[in-house]
Amino acid sequence: MTIIDETAWSPAPDGAEEDGRPLLEVRDLHVEFSTRDGIAKAVNGVNYSVNAGETLAVLGESGSGKSVTAQAIMGILDMPPGRIPRGEILFRGQDMLKMSGEERRKIRGNRIAMIFQDALSSLNPVLSVGYQLGEMFRVHQGLSKKEAKAKSIELMDRVKIPAAAARVNDYPHQFSGGMRQRIMIAMALALEPDLIIADEPTTALDVTVQAQVMDLLAELQREYHMGLILITHDLGVVADVADKIAVMYAGRIVETAPVRELYKRPAHPYTKGLLDSIPRLDQKGQELYAIKGLPPNLTRIPAGCAFNPRCPKAQDICRTDIPLLSPVTERDGGELAGRGSACHFWKETIHG
Partner 1 sequence: MAELKKTDESMDATPNVTEVETADAATEAAAVAAIDAPVDRGEPILQVRNLVKHFPLTQGILFKRQIGAVKAVDGISFDLYQGETLGIVGESGCGKSTVAKLLMLLEKATAGEVFYKGQDITKLSGRALKAVRRNIQMVFQDPYTSLNPRMTVGDIIGETFEIHPEVAPKGDRRKRVQDLLDVVGLNPEYINRYPHQFSGGQRQRIGIARGLALNPEIIICDEPVSALDVSVQAQVINLMEKLQDEFNLSYLFIAHDLSIVRHISDRVGVMYLGKMAEIGTDTQIYDHPTHPYTQALLSAVPVPDPESREGRERIILTGDVPSPANPPSGCRFRTRCWKAQDKCAEEVPLLAVPERFKASDSPAAHESACHFAEEKDVVHAA
According to the binding rule CB under 8 A, does residue 206 interact with partner 1? yes
d(CA 175, CA 183): 9
Interface with partner 1, residue 263, by CB under 8 A = yes
Stretch that binds partner 1, among 84-92, 147-155, 183-191, 289-297 (CB under 8 A): 289-297
CA distances from 204 to 66, 172, 177, 232 (A): 18, 15, 8, 12
Q: Compute the least distance from the CB of residue 207 to partner 1, in Å.
A: 5
CB of residue 273 to partner 1, shortest distance in Å: 7
- Give me the least distance between CB of 121 and partner 1, in Å please: 16
177 binds partner 1 (CB under 8 A): yes
| Least distance CB 223 / partner 1 (angstroms) | 18
3-state secondary structure of 215: helix
Strand (E) or helix (H) holding 112: strand 112-115
The C-alpha atoms of residue 327 and residue 350 are separated, in whole angstroms, by: 12
Cβ atoms within 10 A of the Cβ of 103, count? Answer: 12
Under rule CB under 8 A, which residues in 186-205 are in contact with partner 1? none
Choose one: 47-55, 188-196, 211-219, 222-230; the region binding partner 1 (CB under 8 A).
211-219
Total site size for partner 1, rule CB under 8 A: 46
Q: In a 3-state reduction of DSSP, which class is residue 136?
A: helix
301 binds partner 1 (CB under 8 A): no
236 near partner 1, rule: CB under 8 A:
yes
Q: Could you tell me which residues come within 8 angstroms of residue 21 by beta carbon, excluding any fewer than 6 positions away?
A: 13, 90, 92, 93
74 or 267, CB closer to partner 1? 267
Length of the chain: 352
- Taking the alpha carbons of 220, 226, 227, 229 in that order, is the dihedral positive or negative? negative
Cα separation, 255 vs 252, whole angstroms: 9
Q: Which of 277, 267, 259 is nearest to 329 (CA)?
A: 267
The distance of closest approach from Cβ of residue 349 to partner 1 in the complex, given in angstroms and rounded to an integer, is 17
> CA–CA separation, 244 vs 251, rounded Å?
19
Minimum CB separation from partner 1 for residue 260, in Å?
5
Residue list 36-95, contact with partner 1 (CB under 8 A): 61-62
Q: Is 279 in the site for partner 1 (CB under 8 A)?
A: yes
Among 207, 316, 331, 352, interactor with partner 1 by CB under 8 A: 207
Contacts of 262 (CB under 8 A, 6+ apart): 245, 247, 255, 271
Which residues would be at the binding site for partner 1 (CB under 8 A)? Answer: 61-62, 176-179, 206-212, 214-215, 233-240, 259-260, 263-264, 273-275, 277-282, 284-285, 287-292, 294-295
